[in-house]
A and B are shown apart, each in its own frame.
Chain A
Amino acid sequence: MKFALKVLPKPEVLDTQGRAVQSTLQSHGFDLSECHVGKYIVLEVNASNPAEGEKMATAMAEKGLYNPLIENYQLEKL
């Protein structure tokens, strides 16, 4: 059973990667006012049902796949 974690820097935190990508895109003439770079983590969990799987994936996220001080995450079932 596959789950994915989408991890992004919190809006109030300076996202140096996003800033660099945005400025490069702008230098190529693209019109954008924001860009954020995060992580996409795919987990294949050994669960017997989706509810259990979601619980397991959440526990993995909370264990340290994201840092709550500087990042937000969203969990999705694939």
Chain B
Amino acid sequence: MSRVGVLRFPGTNCDRDIWKSIELKGHTPQWIWYQDEFSPEDFDAFLVPGGFSYGDYLRSGALAALSPAMTSLKKADAQGKPIFGICNGFQILCEAGMLPGALMRNENGRFIDQWVTLKLENKSGWTPAKVGESFRMPMAHADGRFFINEEGLKDLKDKGQVWLTYTNNPNGSVADIAGVMNERGNVVGMMPHPDRALFEWMGSTDGLQFFDWTGEA
């Protein structure tokens, strides 16, 4: 059983979903308030949930990225602890410089809320799924168009940091990218919501295995 820190910022709204996801897998979630620094040693893994931290002011995730809890999260990253950001959590990790790229307004300018199919491009420690496997789950965001310049994209591909791609790119993301990881593979982020695909009645259980981390990239 792992102790999993769940970060909460003003405007986080998927925190309960994440809590439930972690419990379903038999782990022990624990809240981390954005204004508190913490000891990375007290946790085995971290999740940054979705929402609209700081009302998406300045840029989505930009202000949350500067909070005290993120200072501690960077220390956890330095220790190689597994860290997973979903939706706004992904935006926060990018803004904090813990993941490459940036998430910009969807190509069509709209908030898109729909089911998507994702493909695993490179293995990470956050799911036992194999490369090439696909998953169905909801996406719900306005600022989810993954952007990185050509040089950065080449680097991502060369180093195997593209984690997940959309099979039907809904938002104009560069190279269909839905999720990426850092070079070491301990920090991952994705725009769609595995936390909204946990039970059959939700429409899919494909999200469950994204909370099955082994801690090994």
Contact = CB atoms under 8 A, between A and B. Distances in A.
Nearest to B101: A69
B155 interface: no
A16 interface: yes
19 contacts: A12-B149, A13-B104, A14-B107, A14-B172, A16-B105, A16-B106, A16-B109, A39-B58, A64-B58, A64-B62, A64-B66, A67-B62, A67-B95, A69-B101, A69-B148, A69-B149, A69-B152, A70-B102, A70-B147
Binding site of B, secondary structure by majority: helix, strand, loop or mixed? loop
A14 B109 CA distance: 11
A65 B63 CA distance: 9
B9 to A, nearest CB: 15
A39 B105 CA distance: 15
A65 B58 CA distance: 7
Identify which of A12, A14, A39, A67 gathers the most chain B CB atoms within 10 Å of its CB.
A67
Interface of A: 12-14, 16-17, 19-20, 39, 63-65, 67, 69-70
Contact of A64 (B65, B106, B148, B152): B65
List the 7 closest pairs (A to B, CB-CB), nearest first.
Answer: A16-B105, A69-B102, A16-B109, A70-B102, A64-B62, A64-B66, A67-B102
Identify which of B66, B109, B145, B147 gathers the most chain A CB atoms within 10 Å of its CB.
B147
Contacts of B172: 14
B109 A20 contact: yes
Interface string B91-130: 0000100000110111101000000000000000000000
B105 A67 contact: no
B25 interface: no
Identify which of B104, B148, B172 gathers the most chain A CB atoms within 10 Å of its CB.
B104
A64 B61 CA distance: 11
Contacts of A67: 59, 62, 95, 102
A17 B107 CA distance: 10
A69 B85 CA distance: 19
A67 B109 CA distance: 20
